[in-house]
Structure 1
Amino acid sequence: MTPGANAINGTLLKLASNDGRFEAAGNSTWVVKTSDRVIPVDSEVEVQQSSGSLVSFSKKVGSEVTASSLSKAITVRRPVHSTAVVANRTVTVVPLQWSGATWKSADRTVANGIATQLKTWWRSMSANQETLSVNFLSTVNVSSVNSAGQCNFYEMSDLALAYVEKQGLTESSDHVMMTFTGDNQDCNFGGLGEVEGKLTWTYTAPGYMGVWAHELGHNMGFPHANTCNAGVTLTYLKSCEEVEYGNLADTMGIAGASGYYAPTFLESVGWLPASNVAVWTGSAQTVILNRPDRSDLGTTAVNILPTDVAAGDNEFWLQYNPNVITSISPAAAPVNGGVTITYEPSADFSTHRISLEGVVGVASSTSYLCDITPPTASLTSIDYANDPRLPALRSWTDPRNRFTVSVESTNGTSATVRIEPVMSFAVTDPATVTGTADQSGEATLNVAWGVAGSAYGEDEPSSWSVNLLEDATKACTAFVWESSCQILNVARETVVSPTVAGINGAVSSNRITSAATQLSNVAPIFRSTFTATSDSVVATVHVENGGSEIQGTPTIEIAGREPCVLAVLGDTVCTFSDLPRKTAVQLIAKGTNATGSRETLFTTRTLAGLPEDPILSAKFSGKNLLVTATAAELDQNNVNLLEVNCVVKGKQNSKYGFNQGATPASKEFSFTAVKGKDTYCYGRAMSTGNVKIYSSGYRLLHVLSSGKIIPGKIKLVPVVTSPKAGTVKIKWTVKDSLGAVSLVKVKTSAGTCKSDSKTSCIAKNLVSGSTVNIAISVRGTSGSTIFRTSTVVK
């Protein structure tokens, strides 16, 4: 779909602050930025698009983007994240002031100091690839839209952007920053920025360089640098709680100027050249790891790639940070800092382990801290008490024993780091193994296990191996995200003992065995798969005897129809035809053995399909003609829309309407001043499928000028016989109340019915005793109809 000529286009952008106060206050965290406005999205709306998406609205948007207007907006273009270095990056700064927040000369002095510090930091952080220009415009007074104690920053932004546009700087500015005096705190954030946009809002106050860098990072697409707390540095065996801003050593966390951008973020914008990255090769390796702002010295990041992607291994990065982190007590900081270990979560880890407010599977960052001194009490808040870095003379081994990182020394400029493979290790045993019969009655054993509380973070498996002690070929394998699996086709009335071991590469833990158990005999079990058309269902059914011999004949049926007999061994394919279109279908499988009887209910549904012509009826109300179009019997759930077109003295009047939800499905249409005029009305039915719209043919109704109403009817009289073994003969007579019959077509469930005269056909080579379904389609002047019947073959 493309936008209309009068469409309003805008960029949908997420807002992110430097400290979380803005979000915690319940403010909208999404805006739509048009050419002249910044419009907040209703804070109750759950935005599904990505920040930076170009969206188009069919009409002008009010003071707030509602859920309704956003749902109707067209996404014209998804965001394109730029990985290109901008050699000369420009930040245009617009000082804003209002009553109680006057911009003073002292503020400009502070701002100049921040800009000087930021330009130096930016140059070194980009590996000396970018030069940052910070250009200050004149102060803009926004008192017309903002008063003391208020923070109407959307309206303030509109005035500021208009001023930037007036100066001719909109296109040439990579970033536009609106800044307020630090003597005022009317806005409940230190800084705010658009993710993948170009606008930021900041305060100008001493020590705010890190805040400016944080918000500019959002403009470049960086999320927050987070932790995911589980009581240990890292574990794959249980979920962790995501804590936003939790990386105290990262500028995109809470570190400000005492931190750096994580390697993941640097790499995403081209700020981490390959020449500054040491990739661990899997063997023992010593690296001189320089601080990130000294790319001129060599390596500034170590990358440890996943060993087993299928098992959900994370990707790790090492970065040396020698600074005293401002948010931590200096007493907690190691001398010369330490190495920050971060990871990019694998898709499996994000899906199964990262939890936010109890909801697992929604990772909000691409970089998470491995906290060497993890909190164990409160897992949902930032830990300011301890330094998270790996200091000199300390080591850390990843939970799966892939590698050990040892910091041999630090000197304020670089750290000597050794990365080694773990040559000999154990795997933690599972705990509390149980085996229970599956509730379905299938010959399936459900095996579950636990993990000891002391097992997290060390000697973790990458998968679980499960089998029966008595027969190791009866087995299943589970990922570490799982705590159960099913062993299939277990012998009934036989004692079995499931066992579980943790596996990591070629190393296995001890096998832990559950108490012995057994599966009892049960009534027959039915399994079925289905394929469907608009008017038929094909069921492939398997019967499992439940451990004892089947008695009688198992069947599957649709209520009121001939049952299909099921084979005791192997699969049986059963076809059920002439079913209502786009309708739920219930099938019941029945069977008995020595243990008992079972009835299993299956539900599937037919698809949307070509409707039959609707039935037309009419009556007069005064001079007006009321025409009712009613869907055919098999189209009661299939038809969405009905049309009637009446032609009066050569003039057409076509009307559409949704069926009225009544039974049968129908719609009444009113045509004015028809009485006394010769009129033909045509009606059709339409059905909406997943990929197309189906339309019936037209059914005719004739209204004479005398007022007599003649509905189009096709009268079919079939005669179905089975004159001899294996054959069925079909004869018919047919008349159309409004004209001639143009087509008669016969279809049987057993195949072709070969014509042997103009009004008969014969089907041969049929199975004696079988039931054959017959459909006779007729088309004539009045429209079309289908007659259905069935017979048993002699």
Structure 2
Amino acid sequence: MSGRARNIRSLTVVAALVVATLVGAAPAPAAEPQPTVRTTADGSTTLRDPALSDEDTRTVEGVLREVVTEGASDQAPVITTDDGDIIPVDLGTEVPQSDAPVTAELVEGPALDAALGGRAAAPVQVESARVGTAAVAAAVTSHRAYVAVVTNSGSSNLEPSPTLEAGVDRGLAYWATESEGAISSFTRPAATVRFRSSLDATRRCGFTGADALWNEAARRFPAVDFNASGNHLVVIVSDGCSGTGLGTFGSSLASGGLVTMAQTPSVFPMTIAHELGHNVGLDHANFCAAGCSAPSEYWNLYSVMGLAVAGGTAYQPASLDSVYRSQLGVTTPGEVGVVSAGQSVTRSLASRGSVSGLRALKVKAGTTTYWVEWRDGTGRDAASFYAAADGQGIGGRSFPDGVTVTRRTAGTRSSALMARSTRSGSYQGGQSFKAGPVTVRVDSIGTSAVVSTTVLRTFTTKTPTIVGVRKVGRTLRASTGTWSPTPTFSFQWYADGKAISRATRSTITLTRAQKGKRITVWVTGRRSGYLTVKRGSARTGTIG
């Protein structure tokens, strides 16, 4: 090879290195701007997607509603507009508040055109939106249900309108009763409409893309404003459809909403009552056995907001749980007793299904509230699933008559039945529930349930620290920090996680046995009337 050729090759390599260096030094492409969410002092929320700022948009106003999926495919939230359209929207984030007024800039295009035309549509992109807070409406004493039946849904024939109306009426009557007069009447002011949907076979069932079927049904009632308080659209489809029911989240007993449900006779009464429960703001009633890490959704079968169970007869929903009665503001004088920190009381509970007497204890422990009730299958509970099942199991669980404990944590919508075990949802005489500072003991069950409830106070604590030189022969000291009020302390020292024999004072003198190991200390605080608490220190460095 000539020297000239070698030089050309060298130049080529150098040029490649220069290019590589220049490419490597080029700035990374700018990250795509992310949607922003800002909450103002008045509780309203502003959403904005900078990536859509150059798109043509259309302003819509109405009510933003979260759709409860009930195990069906995911459903986009919808805006029920002031013009009567129901538009699925892609907010790019969780719904900040359901049943709230909204002004939104929706991206123009085929999805918006389809939604405004009442056709099946993908969720419409939102360039920006301002979501207000759900209005605290004046008391709405009358509610109205407008019923539409989709005659070409599913694969089976639908029942005649009078049969379906009778089932709907039972659900309406349930809420008129359980609201204790807050809903003075719940009626069907218009004739039931039966119609053939123009949607495809899947969407005309309403459990996929619920908005399109709701649009079709709502247009059968052109004079009705479904954003008005107390107005409910109930769409009934065939039990050949793949789904049972879904609804929209309301915010109070003044809310209305949208419902789709299958006509399945064996669960019809439970389903209509459950979905209307969502419309007035209630979430699911779940099941949590001792030690559960996450509750099983729907599985509180004492509750109307739990799972609807099919049987040889159509079970009726049990009386509304106290946790939900409190949420809706329909508890009556003397119905609920309150047990707070530092109290220990014994009370006789009347059945939750009765209409008088003390029917629940509200047990407050920090940000968690427990509701104690006695379910005995009588009164308003007489036709419920749990009363008929009489303790027989379903899904590996049973729901016998007994005292129930239901938990709700501040900031959450759902509730959880704190079951005695994976197989039993209630507590019998001599059995106890314990969680943190709360103990509920069932003393006896007869003509009433005698329950003793204790709520211990809790300390304000500090994490202990270890002070001293980490060498054999030197002494380490546990510093507890300030606890309030001051408890009696006890100590246990550990080396590499193993308890050190007889090391139960606030100090420890290190021996050769601890050389090369890391030390921790656990401090226990005790005081009469307070929950015993343990706090552990961080590990030290290796002992030299």
Please report the TM-score for the alignment, with normalisation by the length of structure 2: 0.64
Alignment-derived partner of residue 211 in structure 2: 154
2:443 & 2:160 partners in 1: Cα distance? 43
User: Pick from 180, 189, 214: which aligns with 2:236?
Assistant: 180
Between Structure 1 and Structure 2, which shows a larger proportion of helix residues?
2
2:261 & 2:539 partners in 1: Cα distance? 66
The answer to whether 1:325 aligns with 2:347 is no
The answer to whether 1:241 aligns with 2:294 is yes
Q: 1:299 to 1:116 in 2, by over 3 A?
A: farther
Alignment-derived partner of residue 529 in structure 1: none
Alignment-derived partner of residue 13 in structure 1: 65
Q: Which amino acid aligns with 1:180?
A: I
The answer to whether 1:210 aligns with 2:270 is yes
User: Pick from 359, 367, 373: which aligns with 2:421?
Assistant: 373
Which secondary structure does the structure 1 equivalent of 2:421 belong to?
A: coil
Alignment-derived partner of residue 259 in structure 1: 318
User: Pick from 49, 62, 71: which aligns with 2:96?
Assistant: 49
1:284 & 1:465 partners in 2: Cα distance? 33
2:323 & 2:351 partners in 1: Cα distance? 17
1:472 & 1:286 partners in 2: Cα distance? 47
Q: Is the contact between residue 31 and residue 39 of structure 1 (CA under 8 Å) also seen in structure 2?
A: yes
User: For 1:429-468, what aligned pairs fall within 5 Å after superposition?
Assistant: 466-468=464-466
The answer to whether 1:165 aligns with 2:198 is no
Q: Is the contact between residue 101 and residue 134 of structure 2 (CA under 8 Å) also seen in structure 1?
A: yes
Q: Is the contact between residue 371 and residue 388 of structure 1 (CA under 8 Å) also seen in structure 2?
A: yes
Alignment-derived partner of residue 128 in structure 2: 73
Q: Is the contact between residue 32 and residue 41 of structure 1 (CA under 8 Å) also seen in structure 2?
A: yes
The answer to whether 1:221 aligns with 2:281 is yes
Q: Is the contact between residue 140 and residue 229 of structure 2 (CA under 8 Å) also seen in structure 1?
A: no
Offset from partner CA, 1:255-306 (integer Å, 9 cap, x none): 57343433222112222134321123623322233324x33x2223211122
Q: How far is 1:316 from its partner?
A: 0.9
Q: Is the contact between residue 289 and residue 299 of structure 1 (CA under 8 Å) also seen in structure 2?
A: yes
Structure with greater contact order relative to length (CA < 8 Å, sep ≥ 6):
2
Q: Is the contact between residue 96 and residue 178 of structure 1 (CA under 8 Å) also seen in structure 2?
A: no
The answer to whether 1:141 aligns with 2:195 is yes
Q: How far is 1:206 from its partner?
A: 2.0
User: For 1:277-296, what aligned pairs fall within 5 Å after superposition?
Assistant: 277-280=336-339, 282-292=343-353, 294-295=354-355
Q: Which amino acid aligns with 1:418?
A: V
Q: Is the contact between residue 349 and residue 373 of structure 2 (CA under 8 Å) also seen in structure 1?
A: no
Alignment-derived partner of residue 272 in structure 1: 331
Q: 1:398 to 1:190 in 2, by over 3 A?
A: same
How many residue pairs align between the two structures? 417
Q: Which amino acid aligns with 2:451?
A: R
User: For 1:483-562, what aligned pairs fall within 5 Å after superposition?
Assistant: 498-503=520-525, 505-506=527-528
Q: Which amino acid aligns with 1:213?
A: A
1:149 & 1:276 partners in 2: Cα distance? 45
Alignment-derived partner of residue 421 in structure 1: 454
Q: Is the contact between residue 86 and residue 214 of structure 2 (CA under 8 Å) also seen in structure 1?
A: yes
1:508 & 1:125 partners in 2: Cα distance? 37
Q: How far is 1:203 from its partner?
A: 2.3
Offset from partner CA, 1:135-194 (integer Å, 9 cap, x none): 15232313333548843543322122122224x565777232333254x423x3211101
Q: 1:142 to 1:223 in 2, by over 3 A?
A: same
Alignment-derived partner of residue 700 in structure 1: none
1:109 & 1:370 partners in 2: Cα distance? 40
Alignment-derived partner of residue 445 in structure 2: 409
The answer to whether 1:337 aligns with 2:397 is no
Which secondary structure does the structure 1 equivalent of 2:166 belong to?
A: helix
Q: How far is 1:341 from its partner?
A: 0.8
Q: 1:220 to 1:205 in 2, by over 3 A?
A: same
1:159 & 1:129 partners in 2: Cα distance? 31
Q: Is the contact between residue 97 and residue 131 of structure 2 (CA under 8 Å) also seen in structure 1?
A: no
Q: Which amino acid aligns with 2:236?
A: F
1:327 & 1:41 partners in 2: Cα distance? 42
User: For 1:725-764, what aligned pairs fall within 5 Å after superposition?
Assistant: none
The answer to whether 1:125 aligns with 2:178 is yes
Alignment-derived partner of residue 141 in structure 2: 87
Offset from partner CA, 1:100-155 (integer Å, 9 cap, x none): 66875x43343243244334432332234433423152323133335488435433
Q: Which amino acid aligns with 1:175?
A: N
Q: Is the contact between residue 9 and residue 57 of structure 1 (CA under 8 Å) also seen in structure 2?
A: yes
Q: How far is 1:89 from its partner?
A: 2.3
**Largest Rg, 1 or 2:** 1
2:483 & 2:295 partners in 1: Cα distance? 25
Q: Is the contact between residue 89 and residue 124 of structure 2 (CA under 8 Å) also seen in structure 1?
A: no
Q: How far is 1:339 from its partner?
A: 2.1
Alignment-derived partner of residue 661 in structure 1: none
1:148 & 1:330 partners in 2: Cα distance? 39
Which stretches in structure 1 are left out of the alignment for 5+ residues? Answer: 234-239, 348-362, 375-385, 426-459, 480-490, 522-794
2:476 & 2:263 partners in 1: Cα distance? 72
Q: Is the contact between residue 249 and residue 255 of structure 1 (CA under 8 Å) also seen in structure 2?
A: no
User: For 1:578-597, what aligned pairs fall within 5 Å after superposition?
Assistant: none
Alignment-derived partner of residue 110 in structure 1: 163
Q: How far is 1:332 from its partner?
A: 3.1
Which stretches in structure 2 are left out of the alignment for 5+ residues? Answer: 1-45, 49-55, 116-120, 251-255, 310-315, 378-383, 468-474, 485-506
Q: How far is 1:79 from its partner?
A: 2.3
2:477 & 2:414 partners in 1: Cα distance? 41
Q: How far is 1:86 from its partner?
A: 3.4
Percent of aligned positions with the same letter in both sequences?
A: 16
Q: Is the contact between residue 275 and residue 299 of structure 1 (CA under 8 Å) also seen in structure 2?
A: yes
Q: 1:509 to 1:251 in 2, by over 3 A?
A: closer
Alignment-derived partner of residue 776 in structure 1: none
Alignment-derived partner of residue 87 in structure 2: 39
Q: How far is 1:398 from its partner?
A: 1.9
Which secondary structure does the structure 1 equivalent of 2:220 belong to?
A: helix
Alignment-derived partner of residue 486 in structure 1: none
Q: How far is 1:222 from its partner?
A: 0.9
Q: Which amino acid aligns with 1:253?
A: G
Q: How far is 1:252 from its partner?
A: 0.9
2:186 & 2:78 partners in 1: Cα distance? 27
2:339 & 2:246 partners in 1: Cα distance? 37
Alignment-derived partner of residue 201 in structure 1: 260
Q: Which amino acid aligns with 1:143?
A: S
Q: How far is 1:254 from its partner?
A: 1.2
Q: How far is 1:399 from its partner?
A: 2.6
Offset from partner CA, 1:71-115 (integer Å, 9 cap, x none): x22214122365x653322222222322666875x4334324324
Q: Which amino acid aligns with 2:464?
A: V
Between Structure 1 and Structure 2, which shows a larger proportion of strand residues?
1
